[in-house]
Amino acid sequence: SAKRSGRSTFVWYTSEMDADAQKRKEIEAGLVKALRFGQFELLFQPQYSLTDNQLKGYESLIRWNHPTKGTIPPDVFIPVAEETGLIEQIGDWVLNRACQEAVSWPDQTLRIAVNVSGAQFSAGETQKKVAKALRETGLDPRRLEIEITESLLISDTDAVVETLQQIREMGVAIAMDDFGTGYSSLSYLSRFPFDKIKIDRSFVQNLGEDAGTDAIVTSIIGLGRSLDVLITAEGVETPEQVTLLRAAGCDMVQGYLYGRPGSVEAHEEHRARLGYNRAEFWDENDDLV
């Protein structure tokens, strides 16, 4: 009967929701322990300039090394951290750890990029937290870059603009991450202060395979030019993608082709072993990495 199927539907949804809620609770409890017992780790992924083919810096990417479940990726636990408010403590740890790491590098010209999610960003607090991390670690503000996403820009615009402006006034750069995947209109680009736009991996991965994607990427790069903003392509995996990005005038690249997230020591060893110190991994004389 209708009543019966209605009830069984209800039961089905309920148990699904219970399973989700239970899973979230489990992750939440785990995150509290992770903070207490130091189970988080930052990995670093290199970012190269296509203009001079040199390494310019690294993006920091968090991992949770769970004692029994192994390494848990951020896509699994960052949303729970955001819902529960634990993102605040995790974010503080990330910011300090990233700055500390960059201070320890032999090459003090390299930059460090740090992800700050929308739920973590607070108009009142983020500027203070950035200032505190810089003060405590002694990192030159010009070496720090904060990556935010479009989702931040649809809310409370005036306060957000003001905070981003304050952060930039300290000398820290602002990058717009995952560009092209959000819901915002292009109009915010002129209202919000940015130094860099990162083209989302979903576009980069279809480059050369679909004319529509090629047109979008070319447009974003053109937009960056007119706004005087640097463009980074993320998720670069093939030399063909680099050729197209280079031809379109893209400024910077990041992706598995250049290195997966890892320790900076491992990246440096890899570069030294191959004798490479540049973004051009595929010219006539060199084998592809």
Interface contacts to ligand C2E, rule CB under 6 A? 45, 61-62, 73-75, 78, 94, 115-117, 120, 147, 177-178, 201, 234-237, 255-256, 261
Q: Report what 30 binds from ligand C2E, Mg ion, none; CB cut-off 5-8 Å by kind.
A: none
DSSP 8-state secondary structure symbol assigned to residue 54: B
Q: How far is the CB of 2 from ligand C2E (least distance, A)?
A: 44
Stretch that binds Mg ion, among 22-30, 89-97, 111-119, 157-165 (CB under 5 A): 111-119
Q: How far is the CB of 107 from ligand C2E (least distance, A)?
A: 21
177 binds Mg ion (CB under 5 A): yes
User: Which of 170, 86, 104, 91 has its CA nearest to residue 135?
Assistant: 170
Amino acid at 153: L
CB of 245 closer than 8 Å to CB of 253: yes
Residue 149's DSSP bridge partners are 177
Alpha carbon 75 to its chain centroid, in Å, reads: 11
Cβ proximity to ligand C2E: between 2 and 288 the closer is 288
Q: How many residues bind Mg ion (CB under 5 A)?
A: 5
Q: At what angle do helices 157-169 and 126-137 cross, to 10 degrees?
A: 20
Q: How far is the CB of 96 from ligand C2E (least distance, A)?
A: 11
Cβ proximity to Mg ion: between 147 and 150 the closer is 147
Cβ proximity to ligand C2E: between 192 and 254 the closer is 254
101 binds Mg ion (CB under 5 A): no
Q: How far is the CB of 114 from Mg ion (least distance, A)?
A: 9
Pairing of strands 144-149, 111-115: parallel
Amino acid at 69: K
Q: How far is the CB of 148 from Mg ion (least distance, A)?
A: 9
**How many angstroms separate the CA atoms of 32 and 36, rounded?**
6
Scan residues 23-82 and list those touching Mg ion (CB under 5 A): none
Among 45, 60, 96, 115, binds Mg ion (CB under 5 A): 115
150 binds Mg ion (CB under 5 A): no
User: Which structure tokens are listed for 36?
Assistant: 């207490």
Scan residues 215-254 and list those touching Mg ion (CB under 5 A): 234
Start-to-end CA span in the chain (Å): 63
Secondary structure (DSSP) of 148-164: EEGGGGGS-HHHHHHHH
**How many angstroms separate the CA atoms of 89 and 87, rounded?**
6
Cβ proximity to ligand C2E: between 12 and 58 the closer is 58
